Amino acid sequence: MRLKSFHAKTMAEAMRQVREVLGEDAIIVATREEEGVGVRVTAAVEEDASPTVAATPLRFGGEPPGPNILDQVAEVLARHGLNEDLSGELLESIGDLDARDPLMALSAALDASFGFQPLPEGRFAKPVMLVGPPGAGKTLAVAKLMTRAALRKCPVGIISTDTARAGAMEQLSAFTRLLKQRLITVEDAPALADALDVQKGAEQVLIDTAGRNPYDAADMRDLRDLAFAADVEPVLVLPAGMDPMDAAETAIAFRDIGVRRLLVTRLDMSRRFGGLLAAARAADLNFCDASLTPKVADGLTPLTPTALARVLMPEAAKQASDTAQARRPMQTGT
């Protein structure tokens, strides 16, 4: 399922855009009046690869959602340990929808409250520098991104600045050897600028960094120097399962060195993702990609509102895909 929002002066114009871009099968998930601007309509289309179909089709202008949808989503958000403000905001936007399916309702609410900006598969606008606390999954994420690029035959440059810690280089060089990529190591900010010059031709440049303690001023100063040494995009890597307030403060510390995107990891090792939502909200970060397994070959999952909703509500996601599977033979027969 793919969700897209449309802004227009009138509802008729918004609906025309929906049909034009997403086709006749588009389902309206949410409509919202934007004061003084017009209307915003969020619509969904099914995509072949992700057969998430609402058990009951959603229709524009239908009845308000049954209390069970709100209750179901509220229970899920509480389970994830979301703070009251954030869960109240998400539930309020669900209250405005005519969704019949909790998964779709949560997708639309996430779409309204958060930004999503997965890393491109092709050329990066800037070299991407993965930053975050120790053990967040930065090096594994570099390995996953490098593998994805290598499989697409996309020329990639790998730079590591994590030279002080024993064993850190071996971890990454094991991956670069396997993929026959050259690993450049740099010790300081000026050397990073030179290394980036060397890698100018690469479509994607990935920079691994040493873990930093967000509460240690010297650690963060050092990282800021690296991030500002050249025109790079620092991307914050955070694992699931953090306390929401710690995650929020951590995200704010890294935002101050220029982070705008959040790559989330270890989603398979936790059942509580409130920390990740709190981090994105507190530092106004866009979700980019998620690591759902420790295996390099499994890669990263680009995050969209729907993908995140599935992660937050795995039972509902399974139920939706089971329903879609059960319906498929009937659909092909007609």
Residues in touch with ligand GDP (CB under 6 A): 132, 134-140, 211, 265-266, 268-269, 291-294
Binding-site partner at residue 140 among Mg ion, ligand GDP, none, CB < 5 to 8 Å by type:
ligand GDP
Question: CB under 5 to 8 A by kind: which of ligand GDP, Mg ion, none does 269 bind?
Answer: ligand GDP
Contact assessment for residue 6 and residue 21, using Cβ atoms and an 8 Å cutoff = yes
Under 8 Å between Cβ of 112 and 3 = no
Interacting partner of 134 out of ligand GDP, Mg ion, none (Cβ under 5 to 8 A depending on kind): ligand GDP
Give the closest residue to 178 by CA, choosing from 147, 149, 204: 147
In the complex, minimum distance from the CB of residue 179 to ligand GDP, in angstroms, rounded to a whole number: 16
Asked if 122 contacts 106 with a C-beta cutoff of 8 angstroms, the reply is no
* d(C-alpha 223, C-alpha 236), whole Å: 12
- Taking CB under 5 A as the binding criterion, the range among 9-17, 138-146, 192-200, 268-276 that sits at the site for Mg ion is 138-146
Whose Cβ is closer to ligand GDP: residue 143's or residue 184's? 143
Instruction: Tell me the sheet residues that pair with 47.
Output: 50
CA–chain centroid gap for 16, Å, is 29
- Pick 167 or 333: Cβ nearer ligand GDP: 167
Contact status: 139 vs Mg ion (CB under 5 A)? yes
Rounded Cα distance between 295 and 22, Å, is: 35
- 137's contact among Mg ion, ligand GDP, none, with CB below 5 to 8 A by partner kind, is ligand GDP
Q: What is the DSSP letter of 131?
A: E
181 is an interface residue for Mg ion by CB under 5 A? no
Q: Which of 206, 239, 212, 219 is nearest to 136 (CA)?
A: 239
Q: With beta carbons less than 8 A apart as the criterion, state whether 311 and 270 touch.
A: no
Taking the complex as a whole, how short is the minimal distance between the CB of residue 263 and ligand GDP, in angstroms?
Answer: 10
Query: Cβ 143 to Mg ion, closest distance in Å?
Result: 10
Closest to ligand GDP by CB, 28 vs 205, is 205
Give me the residues that bind Mg ion (CB under 5 A), please. 138-139
